[in-house]
Structure 1
Amino acid sequence: EGHPFLAVAAVLAALCWWVAQTQPIVAAAAVLFTILAGFMVFFFRDPGRRPPDVAGAVVSAADGRVVAIEPLDGADEYVGDAATRISVFLSVFNVHINRIPLAGEIDVVERRSGRYKVAYAEDASEQNEQSVIGIRQGDTRLVVKQIVGILARRIACYLQPGQQVDLGERFGLIRFGSRVDLIVPNHVEIRVSVGDRVRAGETVMGVIQ
């Protein structure tokens, strides 16, 4: 996903540095594009992650900070009974690779159009454009939502219904700041609090009871 952005920035930087040899005024642009290329390398970084060895663990699908943990007013259309939503906000400085929170089978992959409100807004989970993923493991069903923000308008999701997935497996990303919601049934004991910093594929968000 990041290769086209990096390639463009690198080519422009190289071109500007070449021109700057005879036109020093272009050096400022060369520096700018070099910094931009460095930022692209930083933003699209993909560090390795090791899932926890915890029975029944549900891990974070994204790096970032937990901004909300709230029970849903009614039953979720996929999870069913009473459920809890855990929202993680990603800044541009976080790793943006998304990872599978629960090993199992992909039941649902749906793209929903919507608005582009700031990702941390309370109603962003319902109103913003998003990718909705339903994962099933035995009797446990949960939902992951990749939600766009005011700047993050490109969702990449590589999953297909019927696909078997492993805990911590990479499945997509959202470009340039975003939000990821995790909706879990009430038989998952929540292990994080609002304000916690979490890491995709590693931080235990909850445990199936």
Structure 2
Amino acid sequence: MKSPFRIHSEGQKLLLLLFLVLVAITAIVFWLAPAWVWLAAGLGVAFYLIILQFFRNPLRLVPLEDDNLVYAPADGKVVVIEEAVEGEYFHDRRLQVSIFMSPVNVHVNRSPVSGKVTYNAYHPGKYLVAWHPKSSTENERTTVVIHNGRTEILLRQIAGALAKRIKNYLEVGQSVRQGEDFGFIKFGSRVDIFLPLGTKIEVSLNQKVKGNRTVIARLVS
């Protein structure tokens, strides 16, 4: 069954304002150059639909809530799977999985596990392209750590060249449920996930994934 089409709250005001602006532009064209009004209206509708799809928020429930499963926190393509040093919170080696969100992907970020938020920090920074190796440490970003009762999972929302608005709704001490919305990155970018060494990765490089649908890893007891 297809998910119902919904508009995320982050885009509602912008879409209303854009609608009014495009109507005003079309009215001005009709007043000054009526022969061009249909072209103006057509371009306005096309532009509005492009922006509209940025803010879609399909209703998705995880198929199975399981403390051993780590679901994709975002729609996109897996661009990194590697062992790396996480230097902000863990200060040791972790398994990193990075998902690149293109402008055509759903931009909602969803919690890959259930648990309690133990860390949340926003960092201003650069706007390098999201696939740049240094974007994880130099770009504007928000880092969140969730403790699922056994271990901690780190999520990092990273702004890119176009995405300069990161929204994160979590607070330290807050309990989150697997699959719940926890943030939004306007106009795409990237989400990094840092997992304990020994975690079984269930995705491959360049694989396309969907938030709350694709299992990206299984935690080992």
Could you tell me the TM-score, scaled by structure 1's length?
0.92
> Which residue of 2 is the match for residue 4 of structure 1?
13
The alpha carbon displacement at 1:173 in A equals: 0.8
Calculate the aligned-residue CA RMSD, in Å.
1.8
- How many residues matched? 208
Corresponding residue to 1:197 among 196, 205, 208 = 208
Structure 2: how far apart are the matches of 1:28 and 1:15?
14
1:63-78 matched pairs, under 5 angstroms:
63-72=75-84, 74=85, 76-78=87-89
* In structure 2, C-alpha distance between the alignment counterparts of 1:57 and 1:90, rounded to whole Å: 21
C-alpha deviation, 1:89, in angstroms: 0.5
| Residue range with higher mean Cα deviation, 14-23 or 106-115 | 14-23
Contact 1:10 1:34 in 2 (8 A): no
Quick check: 1:57 aligned with 2:69?
yes
The equivalent residue for 1:105 is 116
Greater displacement, 184-193 / 27-36: 27-36
Q: Is the 8 A contact 1:60 1:202 kept in 2?
A: yes
Q: Contact 1:118–1:124 at 8 Å: present in 2 too?
A: yes
Choose 31-40 or 193-202, whichever is displaced more.
Answer: 31-40
Secondary structure of 2:131's aligned partner: coil
Aligned pairs (5 A) from 1:15-34: 15-22=24-31, 23-24=33-34, 25-34=36-45
Asked if 2 retains the 8 angstrom alpha-carbon contact of 1:78 and 1:141, the reply is no
Report the alpha carbon displacement of residue 19 of structure 1 after superposing the two structures with TM.
3.5
Query: Deviation above 6 Å: which 4+ runs of structure 1?
Result: none
TM-aligned CA deviation for residue 77 of structure 1: 4.7
Question: Structure 2 vs 1, CA of residues 184 and 36 (structure 1 numbering), >3 Å: closer, same or farther?
Answer: same
- Provide the rounded CA distance (Å) in 1 between the counterparts of 2:137 and 2:30: 53
Identify which range, 75-84 or 44-53, moves more after superposition: 75-84
**5+ long unaligned stretches in structure 2:** 1-9
d(CA) in 1 for partners of 2:181 and 2:19?
26
String of CA shifts for 1:10-40, please: whole Å, max 9, x gaps: 1122223334443324554433332222122
Give the match's secondary structure for 2:45.
helix
In structure 2, give the amino acid aligned to 1:87: S
Q: Do residues 125 (structure 1) and 115 (structure 2) align?
A: no
- Give the fraction of aligned pairs with identical amino acids, expressed as a percent: 36
**Is the CA contact (8 Å cut-off) linking 2:86 and 2:194 kept in structure 1?**
no
Residue 181 of structure 1 is aligned with which of 187, 192, 202? 192
* Letter matched to residue 57 of structure 1: L
**Equivalent residue of 1:82, what SS?**
strand
Which amino acid letter does the alignment assign opposite residue 143 of structure 2? V
Alignment match of 1:13 (pick from 10, 22, 30): 22
What is the TM-score of this pair, normalised by structure 2? Answer: 0.87
35 and 191 in structure 1: CA distance in 2 versus 1, 3 angstrom threshold? same
- Partners of 1:64 and 1:88 within 8 A in 2: yes
Unpaired runs of at least 5, structure 1: none
Assess, with a 3 A threshold, how the Cα gap between structure 1 residues 36 and 4 changes in structure 2: closer, same or farther. Answer: farther
Matched to 1:12, the amino acid is V
- Alpha-carbon distance in structure 1 between the residues aligned to 2:71 and 2:39: 44
1:120-163 CA distances to partner (integer Å, 9 max, x unpaired)?
A: 11121111110000100112101100000011111011111111
- Match in the other structure for 1:145: 156
